Structures are given as structure tokens and as C-alpha cells.
Amino acid sequence: MMFQLPKRLLPDYAQEQAEYIFCSRCRYVNKASHRFCTNCGIPQADGEQEQLLYNIREKQRKESLGRSEYNVRVARITLYVLAALCLTGTAIVLSDLDERYIWGVLCLTGAVLYAILGRWSVHRPFTALLVSLVVVGTFTSVSILSKPEKTFTTLEGTYAFVFFLIIMVLLGRGVKSAFQADLTKEEMEVL
């Protein structure tokens, strides 16, 4: 449905120019000659071609949203895996080692932290995954910088390094996708 606006209600700049119309969906003021709303993309004219183009664009948005949400899910699972690994670490550490209490507390803290971040990413994916990326990045950097020779000369150090690199890539992809998903949702939002 299209609204024709009385000229006297339009702002001065609009009165001087051609006809302007309200978008029936988002209320954005568009030039009447526009085929699509500049703000939300819905067709301004009732043409079959316009509707077809709009449907294709909507389909692309949904597909893009689907991909983004998949990546966010993968990043969330990554956090839960980290939490589980920390918890396993807690169990192993508590069984032997001299400094086992310190390590036990550290691992347990990690497990709780990653589980909370994973849970948070359900409601605020972008913020939660960005915080996770910073947390994991900091822990990784600190552990590498404290024992640089162990990371790059021993096999287990290399494995750990590659493992954290993969985690960082998955989380980074999650952050990017969460951002993309927010944008797409905003575009698709019906007022």
C-alpha cells in the first residue's frame, strides 16, 4: 500500500522537488520515481519484476543469515569444548602435581568462564564472542610469551599453538558472523 503525501506536509526541500511518497513498510520518505525503498528495499511500484527482484534479495538475506548463524553456533560449541577441556584439566591436575591447587583453581575458573561466555553468546552473540576472542587471545599470548622456546621447539608446544590458532579462527569467524547477522536482521526487520 502506498501513501501519497500532501505537499504542504513535506519538508521544504521536498516541496521544491518532485513527488515524494512514504514507504508503506518503514515510513521512509522516497522519491516517487524510485522503484525500491532506499531504506528497507521493498518495491515502491506494484510491478511483477520489482516483486521478483525483491523476493530474490530477501532469499539472499535469509541464506546469508543462515550461514552467519551457523558460524556463531560453531563458535559457541568451541567455547563449550574449551570449558569441557578445562574441566577435564581440573580432574587430571587434582590427581597429581605439586602446584595442583593453583592449577586446579585456574582450570576450574577457565571452565566456568568459557561456559558462561558460551551461554552469553546465545543472547548477545557479537559481544560475547568478541570478549571470548580477547580472553582466549590474551591467555594464548601470555602462555606463549612466558615459554616461547617450549612453544616452537617441542611437539606438544606446537600442537597447543595450532590448537589455539584454530580456536581463534573459529571465534573470529563467529564474531564477524554475529556482526553480519545483526546487520542482516536489521535490514529484514519489519517496523
Smallest gap from Cβ 181 to Zn ion, in A, equals 21
Closest CA to 118 of 85, 74, 79: 79
Note whether 72 and 125 are within 8 A (CB): yes
Restricted to residues 36-95, the positions that interact with Zn ion (CB under 5 A) are: 37, 39-40
Select the span of 32-40, 54-62, 115-123, 143-151 touching Zn ion (CB under 5 A). Answer: 32-40
Residue 57: CA count within 13 A, CB half-sphere? 14
- Shorter beta-carbon distance to Zn ion: residue 22 or 139: 22
106 is an interface residue for Zn ion by CB under 5 A: no
Q: Where are the beta strands (DSSP E) in 68-139?
A: none
23 is an interface residue for Zn ion by CB under 5 A: yes
* Measured distance CA(111)–CA(121) in Å, rounded: 15
Note whether 52 and 70 are within 8 A (CB): no
Q: Residues in contact with Zn ion, total (CB under 5 A)? A: 7
Distance between alpha carbon 175 and the CA centroid of its chain, in Å? 4
Select the span of 18-26, 72-80, 141-149, 163-171 touching Zn ion (CB under 5 A). Answer: 18-26
Select the span of 23-31, 64-72, 109-117, 131-139 touching Zn ion (CB under 5 A). Answer: 23-31
Residues near Zn ion, by CB under 5 A: 23, 25-26, 28, 37, 39-40
